[in-house]
Structure 1
Amino acid sequence: MVENQIIPPRNNPYCLGHEANEQNLLQALHAGRMPHTLLFEGPKGIGKATFAYRFARFILTKSSSEIQEAPSFDISPEALSFKRISSGGHADLCVVEPGRNKDGQKSKYIQIDDVRAAINFSRKTPGEGGWRVIIVDSADELNKNSANALLKLIEEPPTRTTVILLSSNKGKLPVTITSRCQQYSFLPLPKDVLDRVIANFPGGEFSEDIRYLAAGSPGKAADLVFKNGINVYKGMLTFISMNLNRQGEKAVFGLQSVLDNNAEIFESFCEYFYEFIGKYIDFKMDKLQPILFNERDIFEKMNQTSVGEWVDIWQKSVAFLREAKIYNLDWRTTLNAIVYIFEKRA
């Protein structure tokens, strides 16, 4: 496997493909309308976090007069503020994200104490006399208590503080939060822009198949190459195929070597599974190009059951997968439940 050395969002000075959002935000700033709460929403891995740090660097570096005249959010990587943000040492930037447990595994949720720390941060005088920025990455990982705490923050935003929420699934967020945000949608990158982004990735081979599976997401393209994503995708296809043949329990056993008891790999597996029903519907409508690996065989077998029943099966399966994440269920237990859902089909 190639070592992943892709520039993390907080260190990346570029954000290709989202120039329209940048210009729209600049127009607001030029008019003196600094937003108190922003929601950047769109698919995973398309640059929302990179854009959030780019925006944060801009307002934490520039004076009020410079902000009103700037043509872009560009800040030199040599600037002291850029380096402090990259190292996590800027006094006026607070990042709220899931912590890690004693085993080094990323927590599944942002806890209430994480949000309380951000609230305490917002009550302090800005260290450099300008703005303070709070980035919540991602708001999808708020639990009920932490979401309620965040709501109190954005209901009465402190002066000279901007809160940026990142979300890949806006529908999961409470309306009480989203209704108080200025929202910006981030779309998958066009193929030519995706090619420009991944051209700067170190090592790895980005075949046409990988570009297709990435669906406009540089982050997904990176996972496919650097995190064994192709094998995970093929494992997902095998899981579905064996379930269609009433061999679901064997399929779960066979995934041991693919998933390797790794929570992040299992999350990628689930994401591929979530999206597969959409591919099947595109196939039924003659819109799916290209068709990869053994997808055609799977689609032909799925044709033996109605589309409506498959949509119902996927809705139940996805709901269970998301609930299993909440209760931290073992991946084997989780997938065996999906096997049961498949077996109950007509």
Structure 2
Amino acid sequence: MSDDSPVTPMTNPNLFGHAASERSFLDAWSTGRLHHAWLLTGPRGVGKATLAYRIARFVLSGGGAGEADGLFGGAGPKSLEVDPEHHAARLMAAGSHPGLKVLERAENDKGKLAKEIGVDQVRALIPFLGTTPADGGWRVVIVDAADDMNRAAANALLKMLEEPPVRTLFVLVSHAPGRLLPTIRSRCRRLVLAPLEAASVHAALQSVRPELTSAEIEQLVPIAQGCPGRALRFAGLDIQGLEKALDLLVRTGDPSGALAMELAGVLSAAAMQSRYEAFLELVPERLATLAEEAETADLARIVSLWEKARDLAGAAVPLALDPKSVVFELSRIVAMASVRSSNLV
């Protein structure tokens, strides 16, 4: 990897603010009672994928000095840190470690991501899991994100979790664990990654994007909402402008639909794809906030609007829905949520 290559969860050696989760994994490793499947949950962008690859790098490197039968006795290692020059770390950074398989949405021949992880991708693990690990080591399977599996894929993975091969570790990343099969959740040990404090977000952004100035990072920290990945997704997209537009929809109710039409026209331009996708993420969040602040008489109605917006926003990109129509409809939903029940006819 060249020095100017973008840092990804696979190549990122640093993780900030999740020492307790690391310690939980290390304690299990050190005592020799390592569960075969781990489910990493928490909001999108909080660091789950980075932790998943950090775990994989640690396990595939042998877990540090003093290893006994693959696991540590006594106090064990103090962190999951692995020297970037370690052979296993270099292979992982290059995406070529023979002991690691990653399940994620695949790209088609046009470079677009598939809508889901399919059953054939899961079944492709069978030869990998049927071999003996090199040098008596470990194999690691990362699923990022497990929420992306369709039903058939989830059932195929479940069979593997029910009868795991020896010295094989499954690490599942999930933004919405409630969508997973209960039987998958029950077979995993869960680590919940909470949003980070501002100082940890600042450190994470500085580590991943060292070219950013302190002033630029300070602007991104509140946008992150405790999730560095969120800040990076939204960097340079004038999120404050989108939030001001949502504020205006809420404040005025946009009775004529003029603001909704204006937003639809701006965000549907081809050059605005990234801002459009950010808008799709911001609208359900804003409605969730309105629901939290709602009076009892308005709560059920706003929750219903939130569900409608969540489903539409989630389907917009995978189903290639018309962006102009989607933005207009979502804007009108936000405006409707601002109207109190006492003012409805």
Cα shift at 1:253 = 2.0
Taking structure 2 as the reference length, what is the TM-score of the superposition?
0.82
Asked if the contact 2:253/2:336 (under 8 Å) is kept, the reply is no
- For 1:161-310, list aligned pairs within 5 A: 161-200=168-207, 201-204=209-212, 205-206=215-216, 208-226=218-236, 229-230=239-240, 233=243, 244-247=254-257, 248-257=260-269, 260=271, 262=273, 265-280=275-290, 306-310=298-302
Aligned to 1:104: 111
Please provide the CA RMSD for this pair. 2.9
Asked if the contact 1:242/1:251 (under 8 Å) is kept, the reply is no
* In 2, Cα distance between equivalents of 1:261 and 1:100: 22
Cα deviation digits, residues 260-319 of structure 1 (max 9, x gap):
363x6544322211211243356679xxxxxxxxxxxxxxxxxxx945433321222213
Cα shift at 1:256 = 2.1
Taking structure 1 as the reference length, what is the TM-score of the superposition?
0.82
- Count, aligned residues: 322
Cα shift at 1:125 = 1.8
Asked if the contact 2:104/2:144 (under 8 Å) is kept, the reply is yes
Asked if the contact 1:136/1:166 (under 8 Å) is kept, the reply is yes
* In 2, Cα distance between equivalents of 1:108 and 1:242: 36
* In 1, Cα distance between equivalents of 2:254 and 2:173: 37
Cα shift at 1:242 = 8.2
Aligned to 1:45: 45
Aligned to 1:318: 310
**Structure 1 pair 85–226 and aligned structure 2 pair: CA distance change class (3 A):** farther
- For 1:101-180, list aligned pairs within 5 A: 101-180=108-187
Aligned to 1:332: 324
Asked if the contact 1:224/1:230 (under 8 Å) is kept, the reply is no
Unaligned runs of 5+ in 2: 338-343
> Partner letter of residue 51 of structure 2?
F
* In 2, Cα distance between equivalents of 1:143 and 1:261: 30
**Structure 1 pair 311–151 and aligned structure 2 pair: CA distance change class (3 A):** same
* In 1, Cα distance between equivalents of 2:244 and 2:267: 10
Cα shift at 1:221 = 1.6
Asked if the contact 2:206/2:217 (under 8 Å) is kept, the reply is no
Asked if the contact 1:92/1:128 (under 8 Å) is kept, the reply is no
Aligned to 2:340: none
DSSP-derived class of the 1:59 partner: helix
> Partner letter of residue 312 of structure 1?
S
